[in-house]
Structure 1
Amino acid sequence: MSAELAGRLALVTGAGRGIGEAVVAALVEQGARVLATDLLPDGVEALAAQHGDRVTARTLDVSDAVAVEALTDHAERALGPLDMAVNVAGIMRSSHVVDLTDEDWAATFAVNAGGVFHVSRAAARRMAERGHGSIVTVASNAAGVPRSGMAAYAASKAAAVMFTKCLGLEVAASGVRCNTVSPGSTLTDMQRALWTTADETAATRHVIEGDLATYRTGIPLGRIADPADIADAVVFLASDRARHITMHDLYVDGGATLRA
């Protein structure tokens, strides 16, 4: 086990599966202790069982500002001061705009933008008082490139990116860094929910090759990301190796957006 993050405490939202689960594993591998949170308990409880006292599991609805503040207060009393906060919790309600309901729009923003606001605000307040800390938000390359059928998701992720940059500007003088990681297509349950076939080989090939009908380019590197690819970028930005990086949006998408 590396000692790079030894003695440090991280809060991770959306930790029960996919990218969040991979972030927890990567942080633990680097010596950190992790408060792993998710709306559903099963995934984070399994992580706690797997990693022992390195991981503490808690349920959390990031759209609930009162719950976020309460959990952050409890965590700092029970576990110690937060050194890192990683916003991974997110949802997708896929629909063309003319068919998109008010409820789906509001729910998407409540989690993807509101949740980032609640968690980042709670963490930044405490980190700024101590003069150090790192906040990393997992956004999406859809925040920078239009996606057909993904208006609510893309807009909410764009909001999360700009919010994180603004927060980073405000707390920079206090020694707190704020960055985003923007994945492209990644092998998660959210990605699989977009597929129109149960044949994973065919589905991944379609993503890699692109889709002219939806004006979507393929992936130049020729592979879909593994959640660990995203987690590695998150841990880098959270660590001292990125001590002079803030307000940065790191695309981890195999070149899919041609960095438009």
Structure 2
Amino acid sequence: MPEHIPGQPSERTPGRPSDRAPRDGSAEFSGRTVLVTGAGQGIGASVATSFAALGARVAATDLRTDGIEGLAAEHPGITAYAMDVTDRRSVDDTVAKAEADLGPIDVLVNVAGVLRPGPTVELSDEDWAFTFAVNSTGVFHTSRAVGAGMTERASGCIVTVGSNAAGVPRANMAAYAASKAAAAAFTKCLGLELAPYGIRCNVVAPGSTDTAMQRSLWTDEQAPQRVIDGDLATYRTGIPLGRIADPQDIADSVVFLASDRARHITMQELYVDGGATLR
């Protein structure tokens, strides 16, 4: 693999799984069923392929099917399901179908998310509502649908991929930050309610990650380095580790929290942002 210059976008196509392959050769999740939302690209795709490489049966879900169908064609352990997280019926039907096909869901990973940036005073009602419908209500729909079965079986794990923007103010990202903060709080409350059943609920909060969403904010070749350096004019710190995350960095954290190695960890928010939030 060619050397990657820190701060510069890689040559891979954004939205596809990382070219840094997930670890394999392990059956850590053999016999388990994992449902991943937003699996068609970026972090979601890396999460889906990571679990498949570790032996899981993966239900890869997304509103658009081209990405998840490509994953299913490349990875025998992945099955594609079209699902709209904003639609309760779509979620309930898809969860039922996936469990009928693959077995009871052991792990749910909420990744589906959208970003509509802009000054708060210029945000439309539709921008605000849609952002919350996907980033917050979508997490509620899927967690409720999957959590009901987990409660009956007294077993399971839920990981929500949030954002470090939920923990620090970001200019021109009010709807995104607020929706991610809501999803994080929801996941922790759910974890408290489900703890008596042995079900763990945690949050992974990425910082800037090399995905199609991140690249949509870049306007020139110097944009990645500006992200690393930070911007005093917008009160945004840089990234102390000096690099933008790869989707696989986030997927590895999700896999850990879903594993038995994290069996005593619940209601936690793991920041995976290279130190950008200084926490």
TM-score (norm 1): 0.97
Alignment of 1:71-220 (within 5 A): 71-197=94-220, 199=221, 202-220=222-240
Distance 2:54 2:269 in 1: 22
* CA distance in structure 2 between the aligned counterparts of 1:74 and 1:121, rounded to whole angstroms: 16
Using the alignment, how far apart are the partners of 1:196 and 1:148 within structure 2? 17
Q: What amino acid is the match of 1:246?
A: T
Please identify runs of 4+ aligned residues in structure 1 that moved more than 6 A: none
Partner of 1:3: 27
Distance 1:18 1:203 in 2: 19
Identical-residue share of aligned pairs (%) = 66
The correspondence for 2:56, drawn from 16, 32, 40, is 32
Q: Which residue of 2 aligns with 1:51?
A: 75
In the alignment, what sits opposite 2:275?
Answer: 255
The residue number in structure 1 matching 2:262 is 242
> Which runs of 5 or more residues in structure 1 are unaligned?
none
Give the AA of the match of 2:40.
G
Deviation at 1:8, TM superposition (A): 0.4
> What is the TM-score normalised by the length of structure 2?
0.91
Please state if 1:60 is matched with 2:83. Answer: yes
Per the TM alignment, residue 79 of structure 1 is displaced from its structure 2 partner at its CA by: 1.3
1:157-187 residue CA offsets vs partner (Å, 9 max, x unmatched): 0000000000000000011100000000000
Q: Partners in 2 of 1:153 and 1:256 — Cα distance?
A: 17
* Corresponding position of 1:14: 38
Greater helix fraction, Structure 1 or Structure 2: 1
Q: Name the structure 2 match of 1:69.
A: 92
1:201-247: CA deviation from partner (whole Å, max 9, x where unpaired): x2211100001111100000000000000000000001111100000
Write the distance in 2 (CA, Å) between the matches of 1:151 and 1:208: 21
How far 1:253 moved relative to its partner? 0.2
Partner amino acid, structure 2, of 1:30:
L
Corresponding residue number in structure 2 for 1:223: 243
1:95 Cα deviation after fit: 1.0
Partner of 1:185: helix, strand, or coil?
coil
Corresponding residue SS for 2:108: strand
Q: Which amino acid aligns with 1:216?
A: R
Q: Quote the Cα distance in structure 1 between the aligned partners of 2:206 and 2:137.
A: 20
Residues of 1 paired with 2:30 and 2:88: CA distance? 30
Gaps of 5+ in 2: 1-24
